[in-house]
Amino acid sequence: MQKEIIFSGKGGQGLGVMGRILAMAAVLDGKEVASSVSYGGEVTGGLSQSEVIISDEKIDFPAVLNPDILILLSQESYDKFAPGTDRKALLFCDPSFVNPGQTSEGLRILWVPAAEKAVGSFGRNQFANIVMLGAVVAITQIVRPESVIQVIIEEFERKNPELNEQAFGIGLQIERQPCDYHLCDSANCLKARLRSGEAPLS
Amino acid sequence: MQHRISIDHLLCRGCNLCLEVCPKEIFQDSAVIGSGGFRLKQVVSPEKCTGCGLCELCCPGAISLDCLPDEVFATILAGRESRRTQSQSRGGWKEVKSLLQPGRYFMTGNDAIVEAALAVGCRFFSGYPITPANEILEGMARRLKEVGGKFIQAEDEIASIFMVLGASWAGLKALTATAGPGFALMQEGLSLADMAEVPCVVINVQRAGPSTGQATRPAAMDMREARYGSHGGVERIVLYPESVQEVLDLTIEAFNMAERFRTPVILLSDGYLSHLSEKVELSEHIRVYDRIYVPGKPAFGPTPDFSAPSMPRFGDGENVGVTGSTHDRFGKRATADPSVQESLVFHLDRKILEHREELTDCEELFLEDAETAVVAFGTVGRSAKWAVKEARRLGKPVGLLRPRIVYPFPSLRVRELAGAVRKFVVPEMNQGQMFHVVSEKVSREVVSLPQPNGQIIDPRRILRYLIEGVW
């Protein structure tokens, strides 16, 4: 199994960190991993992205060709990636950054109010990326949540591991919470269908 | 034993440097005043001459110290042997423990170079910051301090490479890292490293050029420069890995080759590979080669068996001159002797070419029954591998040849392949540099797939070529 993941948004939202944590957690899980971050002076504040490929076998080509999972944290990144995306892919969008009114039909979008939850719990949206990561890990089960927590504690020990761990926990719970978010069509809830196995993960 | 010092009075400029530098004060002003209006120099006590060659080195052209015949060498050797009875031979293969805990790591291409260099025993780095090689310099600055090495940020790349050569003669394994523009500046030092047989490793993280080009974008535009960039153009060992694991392994290899063959080794990387993070496995023990030193043995080629000569370090007590000029086996300049020049240049080439078989390291995929062989290097090899596997799935008889050691070019293997395949295809992140190298080795059709746009090659583009023949 090979999963290709793209994190995209504005430079400064912590996309690189999300990618790095996910990739390192996958290494702990014993998977093959390749990851790269957009590089260059022009990315600060502009469109930035981070790619991760997680595979059971050796990875031939290390860059993402057909993303299976996209985490889109700005309108610009949504506009860039959503049109060309495979219909089977899962899109994670934060309604604080991507306008739900402008999304195209037929895409499998999961709305995760990460920034809202982060502001609610910590008073600032600094941990929104880790909340989002929690939701992604819970829903896709691409890595073990314990591995992510281990990475947060060991590799990011000087960067507020307690709060990050807490933020990750909040993200994990989004999967289990009843989907009462106003964007979700409750009769046809994607999260519920993914959870029950009615809808395939990819 | 007497050395023949001759002074050409027509060329003497009266600078008195010979009087200044001779430690035995052999030279003196004579009573004769020459046509230049100064006193001509004379040799007063030739029996005191030790043959150190300082007079010849400093003189602007008038003094020549005759190159010693072989029987005189024997006398010198005998004398040196006795002086160095207390020093000991050293060098050769050994196994060392890895500095980091063995296990799985997640690191970038640049970090892998740092860790591999330290593991193999590199204790000197001198460099000048340049994108996309910066993290190597930063990593070395941080890590060398922890292991007791020396780090210097030089004023430019020319200084960097020469410091590396100096450190190497001081007995350290030395590294520098740069990108295309800096690599061009280093060519002068690399040429000296060729001539003076100085083991060192130079990392060239290639970016899109020419000149400053697109500094943050990957390319493979120095594929020819790495081999042919220096004046003199003797054989070079050039490596190009495809993954972070291979970066780690080949950096260790690069140091071992540099020490074994006493030559600069170039490790190519590129703007993509340098920032790609991948899982790597670190083993507990690493096989390391240290340069051979045998007291009293000549420090330079030619050697009878084309092996690397013994390499002393400063402080060993050897009388060795290190020079970029043509020199005899003890490093004494011989800038007018055609036979010394020729045998030295052949030695520099052959000490690598004689090990050609050992220096062939290719990844091969589906070549047994392939009609088309894709030849790719480094990062492009990843694109090519993806494309070749997909094309096979679609029933196309294609195969992949990916030399990890780019130079010496695996001509024998490529020629052997030419008997079996119809066509070679060379995709590259440049205008077709290795295409020329492949074409000159085989008489088959060779197709160049150039992409000099500062992007890694989309494997679907190669696949499309393999299926539809469109680039």
* Best A7, A21, A29, A36 residue to mutate vs chain B (most B CBs within 10 Å): A36
Of the candidates B104, B275, B459, which has its C-beta nearest A61's C-beta?
A: B459
CB contact under 8 A, B382 and A35: no
Of the candidates B279, B389, B459, which has its C-beta nearest A32's C-beta?
A: B279
Mean pLDDT of B217-238: 95
Q: Å from B427 to nearest chain A CA?
A: 15
Backbone angles phi, psi at B145, to 5 degrees: -60, -35
To the nearest 10°, the Cα dihedral for B155, B160, B165, B166?
30
Query: Of the given ranges (B56-60, B102-106, B107-111, B251-255), which has the lowest mean pLDDT?
Result: B56-60
Contacts of A36 in chain B (CB under 8 A): 272, 275-277
CB-defined contacts A:B, below 8 A: 55
The answer, yes or no, to whether residue A119 has pLDDT greater than 90, is yes
Helix (H, G, I), strand (E, B) or coil at B287: strand
Of A13-17, B85-89, B163-167, the range with the highest mean pLDDT is B163-167
> The tokens of B384 are what?
């090519």
Mean pLDDT of B298-303: 93
Q: How far apart are CA A155 and CA A168, in angstroms?
A: 15
Q: Is B459 on the interface with A (CB under 8 A)?
A: yes
B244 → chain A, closest CA residue: A34
Q: How confident is the model at residue B310 (pLDDT cuts 50, 70, 90)?
A: very high
* Best A17, A60, A143, A155 residue to mutate vs chain B (most B CBs within 10 Å): A60
Q: Is B35 exposed, middle or buried (0-12, 13-18, 19+ CB in 10 A)?
A: exposed
Q: What is the ipTM, given to two decimal places?
A: 0.91
Q: How confident is the model at residue B215 (pLDDT cuts 50, 70, 90)?
A: very high
* CA B311 to centroid of chain Cα atoms: 16
Mean pLDDT of A169-191: 70
Domains of chain A: 2-196 (3.40.920.10)
Position with higher pLDDT, B393 vs A95: B393
pLDDT at B118: 96
Task: State chain B's mean pLDDT as an integer.
Answer: 92
Determine the length of chain A: 202
Backbone angles phi, psi at A58, to 5 degrees: -60, 140
Q: How confident is the model at residue B72 (pLDDT cuts 50, 70, 90)?
A: low
User: Going by C-beta distance under 8 Å and a sequence separation of 6 or more, which residues neighbour residue B428?
Assistant: B220, B223, B376, B377, B380, B434, B435, B448, B449, B450, B451
Q: How confident is the model at residue A178 (pLDDT cuts 50, 70, 90)?
A: low
Backbone angles phi, psi at B296, to 5 degrees: 85, -15
Alpha helices in chain A (DSSP H): 15-28, 75-81, 114-122, 128-140, 145-155, 161-176, 190-196
Q: Å from A35 to nearest chain B CA?
A: 5
Contacts of A61 in chain B (CB under 8 A): 382-383, 385-386, 459
pLDDT digits (tens, 9 = 90+) for A188-197: 677 777 777 7
Q: Å from A199 to nearest chain B CA?
A: 29
CB contact under 8 A, B276 and A23: no
Helix (H, G, I), strand (E, B) or coil at B246: helix
Peptide bond into B210 cis (omega under 30): yes
Mean pLDDT of A51-64: 96
Q: How far apart are CA B405 and CA B229, in angstroms?
A: 17
Contacts of B271 in chain A (CB under 8 A): 39
pLDDT at A43: 60
CB contact under 8 A, A62 and B243: yes
Contacts of B272 in chain A (CB under 8 A): 36, 63
pLDDT at B317: 76
Q: Å from A31 to nearest chain B CA?
A: 8
* Residue B422, H or E segment: none
Q: Which long-range contacts (CB under 8 A, 24 or more apart) does B442-449 make?
A: B442/B414, B442/B415, B442/B417, B442/B418, B443/B418, B444/B418, B447/B423, B449/B425
pLDDT digits (tens, 9 = 90+) for A35-54: 998 877 666 678 889 999 99
Q: How confident is the model at residue B304 (pLDDT cuts 50, 70, 90)?
A: very high
The answer, yes or no, to whether residue A183 has pLDDT greater than 60, is no
Q: Is B310 on the interface with A (CB under 8 A)?
A: no
Mean pLDDT of B24-39: 87
The answer, yes or no, to whether residue B175 has pLDDT greater than 90, is yes
Q: How confident is the model at residue B106 (pLDDT cuts 50, 70, 90)?
A: very high
Mean pLDDT of A98-108: 81
CB contact under 8 A, B276 and A36: yes
CB contact under 8 A, B458 and A32: no
Mean pLDDT of B288-301: 93
Query: If contacts are CB pairs under 8 Å, which of residues 388-407 in chain B contact chain A?
Result: 389
Would you say the C-alpha torsion B407, B410, B411, B417 has a positive or negative sign? negative
Domains of chain B: 1-66 (3.30.70.20), 90-292 (3.40.50.970), 362-468 (3.40.50.920)
pLDDT at B176: 98
pLDDT at B208: 95
- Beta bridge pairs of residue B427: B449
pLDDT at B112: 97
The answer, yes or no, to whether residue B73 has pLDDT greater than 70, is no
Q: pTM for the complete prediction? A: 0.86
Mean pLDDT of A181-186: 56
Q: Å from B455 to nearest chain A CA?
A: 11
A57 → chain B, closest CA residue: B279
CB contact under 8 A, A65 and B460: yes
Contacts of B382 in chain A (CB under 8 A): 60-62
The answer, yes or no, to whether residue A181 has pLDDT greater than 70, is no
Q: Å from A177 to nearest chain B CA?
A: 33
Angle between helix A128-140 and helix A15-28 axes, rounded to 10 deg: 40
Q: How confident is the model at residue B374 (pLDDT cuts 50, 70, 90)?
A: very high
DSSP B327: B
Q: How confident is the model at residue B6 (pLDDT cuts 50, 70, 90)?
A: confident
Q: Å from A74 to nearest chain B CA?
A: 24
Q: How far apart are CA B47 and CA B58, in angstroms?
A: 21
The answer, yes or no, to whether residue B67 has pLDDT greater than 70, is no
CB contact under 8 A, A37 and B460: no
Mean pLDDT of A86-105: 86
Mean pLDDT of B381-400: 97
Mean pLDDT of A77-101: 89
Query: Of the given ranges (A100-114, B267-281, B390-404), which has the lowest mean pLDDT?
Result: A100-114
The answer, yes or no, to whether residue B457 has pLDDT greater than 80, is yes
